[in-house]
Amino acid sequence: MVKIRQVDVTMLDKPKTQRAAQRQLSPRAQARLKQERQFRRMVGKLSDPASVFEIRLDQDEKPLTVRQRLLRAADEQGKDIVVRKSEKGWLIGLATPERRSRRGRRKAGATPSGG
């Protein structure tokens, strides 16, 4: 059951003067931010199709999460990248017509092949 009581109007009109102290990030959150900065720097270094990087994963890293973070970092910088599996992690390079995936729906302007 809710409780209702009448209060002074100043409680509504007057904004709070105190701000809550900013919480410190956990060690995992700090490590995640550091990793995201590394990904942004690496994606920034992708300047031509010949530049390719390999990301090796730790035991505690989830491969699909790392892949999503890589794609998000590239999207923030407006770069189109491809991410492929390697023996120890992921290979990252700029997207070219040969490297693009042929899966999924075709673009609206593409003509269907075959009969």
Domain count, the chain: 1
Residue 22 lies in a domain: no
pLDDT of residue 23: 84
Tens of pLDDT, residues 92-113: 999 988 888 888 877 777 666 5
Q: How far apart are alpha carbons 83 and 86 in whole angstroms?
A: 10
Is 18 inside a domain boundary?
no
Tell me the pLDDT of the chain averaged across its residues. 86
Using alpha carbons, list the distances in angstroms from residue 81 to 13, 52, 72: 51, 10, 10
Tens of pLDDT, residue by residue over 6-29, are 888 887 787 766 666 778 889 999
Give residue 57's domain range: 33-94
Q: What is the pLDDT of residue 110?
A: 63
pTM, 2 dp: 0.68
Q: Which of 5, 10, 4, 75 lies closest to 39, judged by CA?
A: 75
